[in-house]
Amino acid sequence: MSDIAVNIKNLTKRYKDGPLALDDVDLEIKKGEFFALLGPNGAGKSTMINIMSGLVKKTHGDVEIFGTNQEDDPTKIKFDIGVVPQEISFDPFLTVQQTLEFQSGYYGIRDNKEYIEEVLVNLNLIDKKDAGTRQLSGGMKRRLLIAKALIHKPKLLILDEPTAGVDVELRHTLWTYVRKLNEAGLTILLTTHYLEEAEALCKRLAIVDKGKIKAVGKTKSLIEEYSGKKTISLNLKEKLKEVPSELNKYETQILENGSILEITLDPSNTEHVFKAVGATSLDVTNFSVAEQSLEDVFLKLTYEQHEK
């Protein structure tokens, strides 16, 4: 058996009369991973998981989940995955217990009482099992969505923006719970636009923007790779119109109408940058150094391009 949970190749989606939501995306997630798709709203994260769950038809490409190609057997994939959607929606006629009993039935499970109880206890919903879904608070509905996705014991749990609009306390409760599920062996794919969430939960992540994967790798090494980069801001006595030719080969930016020059440093060029600055006729009155966080990297990879 291969150790690949999700294998996506050349996945493209163009909505009717719409823009390209996914543009030739490749992605591989291993069994047992806790993986994040990180990106701003409208980046294509939901499109990607909605194709996996069957809500959206792909334009072309291949989706393989636990070795089954979606085109060969979409139903098998539906048995293997559990999806926690972004939008909260329940059948208003049913109670919590009934919602989960019907959900079990759809997966061919006749008697799932014990497991339903176990999941409800774990998600702290057991007191509400006979309550109608309309009587639940927002946070309880969110937890019921997770219960619903877990009730057939899927091998891959997909969480679409699980903590959007959720208070801090519930966010941490949910994090603890899904972390436990992952430690017990469940493969989890999470989409989020909160960097903090991806950092807290996932060992690997992909940064998605405008239908493309901009970067993929270990969360830690992505942070290390980019946090090695620093920026130095030089406050200048005289306003600068253009970057001196000595500094042309470095990544520079003129700010504040020319009174600040910002240069990006990485460990390999720091020394050269200082020498190059010394060789210019710039009159530096002050300077400051800032480290780039993954947040900056994320913003750089995504939002800035939207402005262009």
Partner 1 sequence: MKSNTYGAYTLFKKEVNRFKKVWVQTLVSPLVSNLLFLAVFGLSLNRSMPELDGGVTYLQFLVPGLVIMGMMNNAYQNSSSSIVIAKYNQTISDLLTIPLRPIEVQYAYTLAATVRGLMVGIVTYISTLPFVQVPIKNLPLILLSSILINVAFGLLGLAVGIWGKEFDRMAAIQNFILTPLIYLGGVFYSLSVLPESFQKISALNPFAYMIDLLRAGFIGTSTFPISTSLIFVGITTLVLHLLTGWMLRTGYRIQS
Residue ranges binding partner 1 (CB under 8 A): 15-16, 50, 53-57, 73, 75-76, 78-79, 83, 85, 87, 89-93, 102-103, 105-110
**Residue among 56 and 200 whose Cβ is closer to partner 1:** 56
**Residue among 94 and 243 whose Cβ is closer to partner 1:** 94
Q: How far is the CB of 110 from partner 1 (least distance, A)?
A: 6
Residue 68 host element (H or E): strand 68-69
**Residue among 7 and 50 whose Cβ is closer to partner 1:** 50
In this structure, the number of other CB atoms found within 10 A of the CB of residue 234 comes to: 21
Q: How far is the CB of 72 from partner 1 (least distance, A)?
A: 9
Q: How far is the CB of 167 from partner 1 (least distance, A)?
A: 23
Q: How far is the CB of 249 from partner 1 (least distance, A)?
A: 47
Q: Give Cβ neighbours of residue 304 (< 8 Å, ≥ 6 apart).
A: none
Sign of CA dihedral 97, 102, 106, 108: positive
What's the rounded Cα separation, in Å, for the pair 243 and 253? 8
Task: Evaluate whether 77 touches 65 at the Cβ level (below 8 Å).
Answer: yes
**Residue among 75 and 281 whose Cβ is closer to partner 1:** 75
Q: How far is the CB of 88 from partner 1 (least distance, A)?
A: 9
What's the rounded Cα separation, in Å, for the pair 48 and 56? 9
Q: How far is the CB of 15 from partner 1 (least distance, A)?
A: 6
What's the rounded Cα separation, in Å, for the pair 116 and 135? 19
Query: Pairing mode, if any, of strands 81-84 and 20-30?
Result: unpaired
Phi and psi at 237, nearest 5°, equal -75, -45
**Residue among 55 and 284 whose Cβ is closer to partner 1:** 55
**Residue among 79 and 250 whose Cβ is closer to partner 1:** 79
Tokens 């969430």 found at? 197
